[in-house]
Structure 1
């Protein structure tokens, strides 16, 4: 297929995508819709495939395991299910009919008709990177508003419940629960026997799930067996204000925790009633400090409030303001991304909640037990691929999201890695691969047996450090950890020009010697260290490293360019090989101008000749690709036509209605099938063009 034909096919697909659904979708129907996505453990999605309505299937955790979340609306005594796929044998109800679905960077909004009433269900997972307390709240909103669609008044009640499936990866385990009734009604459920920092099937076996609402006139609650509690609302429109105290296994008569509101008689759109759902644990992360000691760290929001009741009440009462901030954030992202294309704007909007949903912002406590707000560290779970903590080559592709929204969070992700290696406990000379093998245990690798990516991670750390300084003017990482940065640069100087046989971030593709793309990273990393040395006034070192980087480039060109001069090779001397040279984006981002314009032009022309139906393969070893690296490549090519081929290819994959899991970054270019990853934060790399735009203009997201 010619490049022009391929692009035409992509654009034609875009014009008809979502035709399989019976409701309108804006901007498109993704493989899975984020419902409550705030942390590695508050992560609820609606699987789509060819298109599931909100009441066709149960919401699921990112792994695909069901997290029971049901919703009903009663209209003039008739009951309709709008959320989940419940079976209530002893009660009569209908399915509300989904009319529309829209998502933004922070919200998923469904409109369903329940007979003569339209129900709007807004799932808001706030993204507030400039407010660390708000960003660290592990809570999400569901807002429900009803309006008559026939011009007549109607009596309306609404209901939601969650099941104990929210608190464990093993449904055979016993849970207990409490209900607190005051200004707020809160159900709290947790495992009876907890394991601090322990996971089962990627679910934390610690902490509690919370389902809450403000207590107003007409608000009722109930806990108990799912079919009993749901039948109570379906048949009566109110709950019994009773509590089941028969604590039992998650799957034993399926205990649920329900809340209901009587909206009264409505004609015009009712004021929304607000529910919150959350998962809270404390401590949140175990971190290795000097002398093989460990430190327990808590989520940042605890420094602002004293009790969970206060946290939940504050969160619920703040909904109008939170919605206004979310709308402003969404509008800014959409405006910025739409300058590139509407397809790009949709892709970015789908990626933001997923990216931030892997990150938790933490504090330590001082000797007196007070939170140390000057000791901020952020932790990122390598969701889906292996569960590592702060994997350097996962932070690296996620980096554009942080540069665009708040680069300080990027700094807080790097600090745990720097601080650990500065203790001297990590024995290798290069940068560590990750901060711990299993989230949330950030226990380092004192044995040095982390996954070996010496060139990859050393280059990443130096590049990200300079990038953070350029975006913020904050040189604290540079001045504090200059010696470590220089140590890693020595390794780059030794290994970058002719990389030894090793793996890169694309470890699933296997190891390879003389990787062109790894050499790019190393050479840019050396130049980045030259810039870092200049920042601290070390002109001699800066000049030396600049000279080394410059001297490597012509040698690298000779090694890495195919004999016909049409493209870079995947590995030196293999003329028939090629790959996405996405590491050149670092050269563009840092404005280091390491590589001549001719190399960018050559690669741009080449990519246009090798695009498949769903994009350009990662390299010639396979026909699969990565959506994040295609987005990075879109930001470095010198043709807007080729840029848009990359963007539209990733969009086509994201909107093809063939997959049914949270967006996977690793997929097949021939048919759009996912290869196994899902819900990973590396989709933050889709914001590469926005990050570049922000760096060049030095604009920032509005404070929220």
Structure 2
């Protein structure tokens, strides 16, 4: 950003640390600022930033309180006065605290109070008052903010980075059902190394330069590997990495003595922007390749909550459960068996992910520990999947349908006029099972380009919309680079066209939202509109 003769550079870094469970489980991001003159002259520079109490609730009418601690690190902490354990409002957790921190250095000042008052103080004097507002109130009552100001002095060149951390911590993080209906509270993995939030924040702030170096190394590898396909594909992968990891939390349980049990690691994923389910099998499934690529063990940790729960015998159906709970972070299972019914979809997904994990790692523990479950799901697929009954698939917003080809593919139709993205054939290539002859891939490849539109290829003949995840999977199995790039470029263009409020939405509709007309779904609550949001 430019302020007259001075340029201000703001860097945001949310580290992805797939091989370090402690660092990956730290719920913090870096907010880093530096200034430089753009006219070759010296200038006096002060910078300001704040967060508001909106960080801690989905209901701005609720009362919050806050503290500011000083020392080697200055930290603003804000939280709801009355918290709801494991509760959410509008996808916002109603538990825990937000933390806004920076090392205590010369020129640092802080202040808490009404947004207009605190910001005016800085505008008028270039510094804050080191005062604390103690009138705790509702989020929307005079909008309390928690501010930091750094006086950089007179600068003649680019300044060293001013490092700020921002994040949100709650403990316990997840409630998980174990045998006999008992409930277990699980904590984020980083607690196994740090005894306090302050210790975790200090470590995180002090690690910035190393974290940046690791991030650059990781990004370089991702860029190099993805660019072997195309520049457009590399762009999609770069955008997808944070989106995939940002929805996950790595947890541990406690032993009977109260210490953290690092031998009991489980990873949980929230289904965001739809219904908030926990560890939805068909949401883990499209993200599965990134875990195989970065650290397959993370994939295992995602599957373990599902395996462990079903191994207790509390889930009554013969097929795989759809998810671990209806509302994150309550992983309470479905002892009544009334989870969203995707019997072929989820059973096939679990088998495919398990086998691909074993092929990648040679770790056979999932088979040895859960053989009975895997066999049970396999026998179900043998009896049910060749001609699937009327049921929903992962594309449940599209409604149920009998004899879905993609479901039949999961287990190994008669309408010659129907077609769809056969994305599930990706598993045939991933696993090297060679169930389908090359002629099938060639036939599909030739067909797709005849039905493509500006957003690639529609999901199936029933609709005009498509899904970004399944387009990318389909691109991986076609036998023509031209057709492959048709899919990839369509997804890239959709993500970059500026017409969606989401960074990389799953669903796109060329007929409704991308023809320059107003989206008719904005006036209703139809399935398409809910999912496209």
Question: TM-score, normalized by length of structure 2?
Answer: 0.96
Rounded to whole Å, the distance in 2 between the matches of 1:345 and 1:392 is: 26
8 Å contact from structure 2 (residues 307, 370) kept in 1: yes
Rounded to whole Å, the distance in 1 between the matches of 2:530 and 2:290 is: 19
- State the Cα distance separating 1:638 from its structure 2 match: 0.7
8 Å contact from structure 2 (residues 456, 491) kept in 1: yes
Residue 454 of structure 2, aligned match among 613, 616, 628: 613
> What are the Cα deviations for residues 217-238 of structure 1, in whole angstroms up to 9, with x where unaligned?
1111000000010011111111
> Is residue 375 from structure 1 mapped to residue 216 from structure 2 by the alignment?
no
> Is residue 331 from structure 1 mapped to residue 232 from structure 2 by the alignment?
no
- State the Cα distance separating 1:679 from its structure 2 match: 9.9
Residue 190 of structure 1, aligned match among 55, 79, 87: 79
Please show how residues 459-608 of structure 1 align to structure 2 within 5 Å: 459-523=348-412, 572-608=413-449
Rounded to whole Å, the distance in 2 between the matches of 1:592 and 1:258 is: 57
Rounded to whole Å, the distance in 2 between the matches of 1:150 and 1:677 is: 50
Query: Which residue is 1:145 aligned to?
Result: 34
Q: Which moved more, 1:294-303 or 1:665-674?
A: 665-674
Please show how residues 669-688 of structure 1 align to structure 2 within 5 Å: 669-670=510-511, 673=514, 675-676=528-529
Instruction: State the secondary structure of the residue aligned to 1:362.
Output: strand
> What are the Cα deviations for residues 374-396 of structure 1, in whole angstroms up to 9, with x where unaligned?
00000000001110000001101
> What are the Cα deviations for residues 27-64 of structure 1, in whole angstroms up to 9, with x where unaligned?
xxxxxxxxxxxxxxxxxxxxxxxxxxxxxxxxxxxxxx
Query: Which residue is 1:72 aligned to?
Result: none
Instruction: State the secondary structure of the residue aligned to 2:238.
Output: helix
Please show how residues 218-367 of structure 1 align to structure 2 within 5 Å: 218-367=107-256
- State the Cα distance separating 1:661 from its structure 2 match: 2.4
Decide whether aligned partners of structure 1 residues 403 and 140 sit closer, same or farther in structure 2, where only a CA change above 3 A counts: same
Instruction: State the secondary structure of the residue aligned to 1:210.
Output: strand
8 Å contact from structure 2 (residues 344, 385) kept in 1: yes
Query: Which residue is 1:566 aligned to?
Result: none
Residue 472 of structure 2, aligned match among 617, 624, 631: 631
> What are the Cα deviations for residues 450-493 of structure 1, in whole angstroms up to 9, with x where unaligned?
01110001000000000111111111111100110000000000
Gaps of 5+ in 2: 520-527
Query: Which residue is 2:525 aligned to?
Result: none
Rounded to whole Å, the distance in 1 between the matches of 2:15 and 2:154 is: 31
- State the Cα distance separating 1:339 from its structure 2 match: 1.2
- State the Cα distance separating 1:215 from its structure 2 match: 0.3
Instruction: State the secondary structure of the residue aligned to 2:252.
Output: strand
Rounded to whole Å, the distance in 2 between the matches of 1:290 and 1:466 is: 26
8 Å contact from structure 1 (residues 613, 670) kept in 2: no
Structure with the bigger RCO (C-alpha within 8 Å, sep 6+) is 1
Instruction: State the secondary structure of the residue aligned to 1:583.
Output: helix
> What are the Cα deviations for residues 541-582 of structure 1, in whole angstroms up to 9, with x where unaligned?
xxxxxxxxxxxxxxxxxxxxxxxxxxxxxxx22211100000
Rounded to whole Å, the distance in 1 between the matches of 2:506 and 2:257 is: 45
Query: Which residue is 2:523 aligned to?
Result: none
Query: Which residue is 1:48 aligned to?
Result: none
Query: Which residue is 1:654 aligned to?
Result: 495
8 Å contact from structure 1 (residues 613, 671) kept in 2: no
Rounded to whole Å, the distance in 2 between the matches of 1:222 and 1:257 is: 6
Query: Which residue is 2:345 aligned to?
Result: 456
- State the Cα distance separating 1:670 from its structure 2 match: 3.7
Instruction: State the secondary structure of the residue aligned to 1:481.
Output: helix
- State the superposition RMSD in angstroms: 1.2
8 Å contact from structure 1 (residues 604, 642) kept in 2: yes
Query: Which residue is 1:432 aligned to?
Result: 321
8 Å contact from structure 1 (residues 656, 672) kept in 2: no
Rounded to whole Å, the distance in 2 between the matches of 1:676 and 1:121 is: 34
Query: Which residue is 2:51 aligned to?
Result: 162
Query: Which residue is 2:522 aligned to?
Result: none
8 Å contact from structure 1 (residues 666, 676) kept in 2: no
> Is residue 179 from structure 1 mapped to residue 68 from structure 2 by the alignment?
yes
- State the Cα distance separating 1:435 from its structure 2 match: 0.3
Gaps of 5+ in 1: 1-111, 524-571, 681-704
- State the Cα distance separating 1:669 from its structure 2 match: 3.2
- State the Cα distance separating 1:265 from its structure 2 match: 1.1
8 Å contact from structure 2 (residues 507, 532) kept in 1: no
Instruction: State the secondary structure of the residue aligned to 2:423.
Output: coil
Rounded to whole Å, the distance in 2 between the matches of 1:336 and 1:670 is: 34
Rounded to whole Å, the distance in 1 between the matches of 2:17 and 2:143 is: 35
Rounded to whole Å, the distance in 1 between the matches of 2:39 and 2:220 is: 32
Rounded to whole Å, the distance in 2 between the matches of 1:660 and 1:141 is: 23
Rounded to whole Å, the distance in 1 between the matches of 2:378 and 2:290 is: 26
Rounded to whole Å, the distance in 1 between the matches of 2:529 and 2:296 is: 29
> What are the Cα deviations for residues 317-342 of structure 1, in whole angstroms up to 9, with x where unaligned?
11011111111111111111111111
Instruction: State the secondary structure of the residue aligned to 1:584.
Output: helix
Rounded to whole Å, the distance in 2 between the matches of 1:218 and 1:315 is: 21
Rounded to whole Å, the distance in 1 between the matches of 2:23 and 2:156 is: 35
Query: Which residue is 1:104 aligned to?
Result: none
Rounded to whole Å, the distance in 2 between the matches of 1:676 and 1:474 is: 42
Rounded to whole Å, the distance in 1 between the matches of 2:66 and 2:240 is: 34
8 Å contact from structure 2 (residues 495, 503) kept in 1: no
Rounded to whole Å, the distance in 1 between the matches of 2:531 and 2:259 is: 38
> What are the Cα deviations for residues 222-281 of structure 1, in whole angstroms up to 9, with x where unaligned?
000000100111111111000000000000000000011111111111000011110000
- State the Cα distance separating 1:671 from its structure 2 match: 6.0
Decide whether aligned partners of structure 1 residues 376 and 323 sit closer, same or farther in structure 2, where only a CA change above 3 A counts: same
8 Å contact from structure 1 (residues 520, 584) kept in 2: yes
> What are the Cα deviations for residues 4-45 of structure 1, in whole angstroms up to 9, with x where unaligned?
xxxxxxxxxxxxxxxxxxxxxxxxxxxxxxxxxxxxxxxxxx
> Is residue 644 from structure 1 mapped to residue 485 from structure 2 by the alignment?
yes
Decide whether aligned partners of structure 1 residues 403 and 343 sit closer, same or farther in structure 2, where only a CA change above 3 A counts: same
> Is residue 409 from structure 1 mapped to residue 409 from structure 2 by the alignment?
no
- State the Cα distance separating 1:676 from its structure 2 match: 3.9
Rounded to whole Å, the distance in 2 between the matches of 1:671 and 1:615 is: 15
8 Å contact from structure 1 (residues 663, 678) kept in 2: no
